[in-house]
Amino acid sequence: MVSLAELSPPLALGTLDGRYRPVVAPLVEHLSEAALNRCRLHVEVEWLIHLTAHGVVPGAGTLSESEQQELRALIEQFDADSIVELAAIEAETVHDVKAVEYYLRRRLVDRLGRDDGIGELVHFACTSEDVNNLSYALMVRGAMTEVWLPRAQALVEQVSGMARELAGIPLLARTHGQAATPTTMGKELAVLAHRLSRQLRRIEGAEYLGKLNGATGTYGAHLAAVPDADWQQVSRGFVEGLGLTWNPLTTQIESHDWQAELYADVARFNRVLHNLCTDLWSYISLGYFAQVRGQGSIGSSTMPHKVNPIRFENAEANLEVSDALLDVLASTLVTSRLQRDLTDSSMQRNVGTALGHSLLAIDNAGRGLAGLDAVPAAMSADLEANWEVLAEPVQSVMRALAAAGDESMANPYERLKELTRGRRITGADLRDFVRDLGLPQEAEQRLLALTPATYVGLAPELVAHLNQP
């Protein structure tokens, strides 16, 4: 038997690098192993430039403007050859960050011709976590702002657009699975769009923290080497220069609380999106939406009539996988034994997978939404078959009159319960009941004009809240 594990090029073990690669490929730019090494190189280059440009180490060499540009070009030119070379160095060092340090020191010689002492400022006074925490902050920020957030925002706008379009389409609500006070399809979609938007605002406001303060967060090596430097200000200026928020108090690791906060918010967005998918699945099963547009795929291998809601089901599954990973990331990253253990290092390598499954779900939900056409006739038919839902407005009018002193309107809830509970009534049944109540003419006419389809309250107007923060 042919060994699949030995085929070349290597086969993907997971779906994100196999079947679903086209959807999640943009995340590779930010959260892959190669992206991590490129970001480490970026941090090392900028730290070297920062030290030399500010004369932090007295007597050390400087870098000209052109030399700085040449070093920064290493990040832009980071390619397959760079990856291979780094892997070869790491095979010798058995240490990934040290491999990046040696890679950069080589470039100082072969690209800049600098074999002087300036090479000793590469990774100066740094622990590996100084480089790693800044790299992950930059990587996650890039993945969120350049890939995940734009996709999520587009999806929410897609849901919001449907909500506005269907704002006035009446819908039989179901609470506990039973017929309940009518609403509109647009208002129900607006509820979900509003919830998703709120989570996006939290995610958009995320802080990305970073630190550079040595092996146990004390600047011990820094101070020993250059006691007269204001190392806190040097560190703060460097971290903020990367566009990150400086964390002044850490152990060897940056505490990762910001990551836990972000992943919890993304997981919550996922869960609201999961709710959207299950609701749409239910509406499709009730016939309120037809899956017609762009559905050229086979629904069932044996039943030609079927078009299955697979986009929403696929989204649900991927959201559940994403949340399982995001939850464990959020709960694990906030704990580190004493000043350092390696749990966070292994955990953070799964961030790309967690966001990848979320991104895949967003893509599937969007494609599912794009294939839906509302079927108002089906919604109307259900409303027409459930006149008992108007027991609520009738008894509410009776309550108001009874509260104002009309004793003939007493016990309205019990009287409507006797009429409607456990059986279906028709429009004629309800109107006969209303006529026999002896209501004031204005109230009677208002109730006689009411139908399940018009008993939607302010639902159409409520959709306008989507335009507000």
Vertex 8: Cα angle to 13 and 22 (nearest 5): 50
Residue 289 predicted with pLDDT over 80: yes
Q: Out of 64, 285, 297, 300, pick the active-site residue.
A: 300
Please list the residue range(s) of the chain that carry CATH number 1.10.40.30: 387-451
pLDDT digits (tens, 9 = 90+) for 330-376: 999 999 889 888 888 888 999 999 999 999 999 999 999 999 999 99
**12-126 belongs to which homologous superfamily?**
Fumarase/aspartase (N-terminal domain) (1.10.275.10)
pLDDT at residue 304, as a whole number: 47
Q: Where in the chain is the domain with CATH 1.10.275.10?
A: 12-126
pLDDT tens digits for range 409-465: 888 778 877 777 777 888 998 898 888 888 899 999 999 999 999 999 999 999 999
User: Side-chain half-sphere of 464: how many Cα atoms within 13 Å?
Assistant: 4
Look at residue 301 and tell me whether its pLDDT is greater than 50.
no
CA–CA dist 469, 463 (Å, integer):
13
Q: What is the pLDDT of residues 1-26, one digit of tens each?
A: 988 888 888 888 889 999 999 999 99
Predicted local distance difference test score (pLDDT) of residue 303: 46
Q: What is the pLDDT of residue 297?
A: 53
What's the token pair of residue 204? 């958009």
Query: Which two three-digit tokens encode residue 203?
Result: 């995610």
Mean pLDDT of the chain: 93
Asked which of 144-158, 308-322, 409-423 is least confident by mean pLDDT, the reply is 409-423
The pLDDT of residue 416 is 74
Q: Which tops the pLDDT comparison, 432 or 98? A: 98
DSSP assignment letter at 145: I
Task: Decide yes or no: CATH 1.20.200.10 for domain 129-214+249-376.
Answer: yes
Report the CATH superfamily, name and number, of domain 387-451: Fumarase/aspartase (C-terminal domain) (1.10.40.30)
Question: Is 206 a residue whose pLDDT tops 80?
Answer: yes
Sign of the four-CA dihedral 208, 214, 219, 224: negative
Q: Exposed e or buried b for every residue in 72-110, given b needs 16+ CB within 10 A?
A: eebbeebeeebeeebeebbeeeeebbebbbbbbbebbee
Residue extent(s) of CATH 1.20.200.10 domains in the chain: 129-214+249-376
Q: Give yes or no for a contact between 251 and 336, defined as CB atoms under 8 angstroms apart.
A: yes
**What pLDDT score does 5 carry?**
86
Torsions phi, psi of 32, nearest 5? -85, 170
pLDDT digit string, tens, across residues 165-188 = 999 999 999 999 999 999 999 999
Give the residue-averaged pLDDT of 119-143. Answer: 97
The pLDDT score that the predictor gives to residue 402 is 87
Q: 235 an active-site residue?
A: no
Which one is catalytic: 3, 8, 176, 305? 176
Over range 276-291, report the average pLDDT. 96
Examine the pLDDT at 305 and tell me if it is beyond 60.
no
d(CA 11, CA 4) in angstroms, rounded, equals 7
For residue 343, what pLDDT is reported?
A: 85
What does 348-410 look like in DSSP terms, one character per residue?
HTTHHHHHHHHHHHHHHHHHHHHTEEE-HHHHHHHHHT-GGGGHHHHHHHHHHHHHTT-GGG-
Catalytic residue status for 300? yes
Indicate the pTM of the whole model: 0.93
pLDDT band with cut points at 50, 70 and 90 for residue 469 = low
